[in-house]
């Protein structure tokens, strides 16, 4: 039963993050949640930053801190 509770929580977080980023739920989001990355924090940050230049996107701004969270905390 604890696994199904965790699975439900992961699905809820993934949906919230995808909604904030304006994208669909994907493997990257699920993977980051299972790794324990603070995805909600980075999704909020990505949502608040302007992305009006070519080549910028919320997904890219979200991905970098997720992957580098350990290094940022040091």
16: containing domain: 2-73
Query: Residue 73: is its pLDDT beyond 70?
Result: yes
Q: Average model confidence (pLDDT) for the chain?
A: 91
Mind listing the pLDDT tens digit for each residue in 11-69?
A: 999 999 999 999 999 999 999 999 999 999 999 999 998 877 787 888 999 999 999 98
Instruction: Record the pTM.
Output: 0.85
Task: Give the residue among 32, 35, 57 at the shortest CA–CA distance from 47.
Answer: 57
Q: Is the separation of the CB atoms in 40 and 16 below 8 Å? A: yes
Q: Round to whole Å and give the CA distance between 3 and 7.
A: 6
Q: How many domains does the chain have?
A: 1
pLDDT on residue 56: 82
């Amino acid at each position: 039963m604890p696994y199904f509770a965790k699975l439900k929580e992961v699905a809820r977080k993934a949906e919230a993050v995808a909604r904030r980023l304006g994208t669909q739920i994907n493997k990257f989001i699920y993977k980051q949640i299972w790794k324990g990355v603070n995805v909600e924090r980075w999704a909020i940050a990505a949502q608040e930053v302007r992305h009006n230049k070519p080549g910028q996107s919320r997904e890219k701004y979200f991905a970098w801190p997720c992957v580098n969270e350990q290094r940022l905390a040091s």
